[in-house]
Amino acid sequence: MRYLSRLAADLPYADLVVVDTLLRLSGNSRDRLAIRSARELRPGTLKKEPLSLSAAQAPPLGPYFQAKLNFQEREGVVGESLKFFQNIHPRTGEQENYHGLAFTGSSGEDYATISLLPLGNGRGSVLILQGLQQEGTEAAGLFLADAGNRQKLQEALGISGIPGQPVYFEALIRTQAVAGAPNATSIVATRVIHP
């Protein structure tokens, strides 16, 4: 519990929403869930335990996971240009780039991704929630907290019932932020990931 208290003190509000959501959703599996800040992870950690990350771009593991995703976070000159998700392989009706808010606390559209990837050692999975701004990250956590949204995600991925094995995926979601608070979140696009 000491670790979670220290972690909570260091996290932005959006990341706290994500952590709270994951803990509530884990139910009886809570003892198998390890929540780590991406900044604290090292490659050796991936061999030991299942993980949950709140940001894929944080070093040192960002490139390891980012290369496996279709929707990749991009930014021109760091701190001087808008972040966006680049759609590496756009499908019909999809955009090549999805630009979000100029800065946290503003109103407008923001985007986030929810991705579930297998660990290379076959001993677990990594859930990555990353928003372009805090509103997007918070929206991803709130999206997963809602049973109706989880059902919509399953349908968008073509999953019916309870699969016998994990289904690895990524989903791009859009939220309408109002004065820094996410609202009206929807699924923009999904991909099933075949390990």
Which residues face 26 on adjacent strands? none
Give 151's contacts (C-beta < 8 A, 6+ positions apart). Answer: none
**What is the Cα–Cα distance from 106 to 74, expressed in whole angstroms?**
20
pTM tops 0.75: yes
Cα atoms in the Cβ-side hemisphere of radius 13 Å centred on 124:
14
Q: Walk along the chain (195 residues) and give the pLDDT tens digit of each residue.
A: 333 333 444 456 666 666 677 677 667 766 766 666 666 666 566 555 555 554 444 444 566 777 889 999 988 766 667 889 999 999 999 999 999 988 888 889 999 999 998 877 667 788 888 889 888 988 998 898 899 999 999 999 999 888 888 899 999 999 999 888 888 899 999 999 987
By residue count, the chain amounts to 195
User: Could you tell me the residue ranges of all domains in the chain?
Assistant: 2-193
**What is the Cα–Cα distance from 168 to 154, expressed in whole angstroms?**
11
**Which residue bears the tokens 């808008």?**
82
Does residue 56 contact residue 66 with C-beta atoms inside 8 Å?
Answer: yes
